[in-house]
Amino acid sequence: MELIELSFADKDCCRIQKRLRDFQHTLLTFHDYAGVVSDNNKAEREIRPAVIMRKNSGQNKSEKGADMQAVPMSIYRTLKIRGHNPIDVLHDSLVEYLKTGTLPTFPEPKISEH
């Protein structure tokens, strides 16, 4: 990657160059491994419901507000992607916590029966 060796005066070019330098070993992972996609479209689609909810509710006026939405949404979406019913898992986790004082581990993905 010759771009990371050149000298640039423009601050935006330097910023991009630093990013290329920092990620040079993983930037083209999709090229090296079959099954790895070259874009993040799936990830963008996964977070879309949270973005819409944030926009509609007017939340996230602060860092704490952003965390208060991001953490539960991340847990919810991860459980859905893993094939679990998030409400059931959260209920069972709270029941376990009340009984034992510790939260159970995050459930593994369910095996698809296709």
Task: Write down the pLDDT at residue 112.
Answer: 62
Q: What is the pLDDT along the chain (114 residues), one digit of tens a residue?
A: 577 788 889 999 999 999 988 988 888 889 889 888 888 888 788 878 877 877 777 666 777 777 777 788 888 888 988 999 999 999 999 999 999 999 899 898 887 654
Q: Which residues of 53-88 are buried (b: 16+ CB within 10 A; e: fewer)?
A: ebeeeeeeeeeeeeeeeeeebeebeebeeeebeeee
Q: The tokens 């860092």 sit on which residue? A: 63
Residue 68 has a pLDDT of 78
Angstrom distance (rounded) from CA 42 to CA 30:
14
Domain boundary assignment for the chain: 2-32, 58-100
Q: Cα dist. 32→28, 37, 59 in Å?
A: 7, 11, 40
Please say whether the beta carbons of 82 and 110 come within 8 A: yes
| pLDDT score for 83 | 92
Q: What is the pLDDT of residue 91?
A: 95
**pTM, full prediction:** 0.54
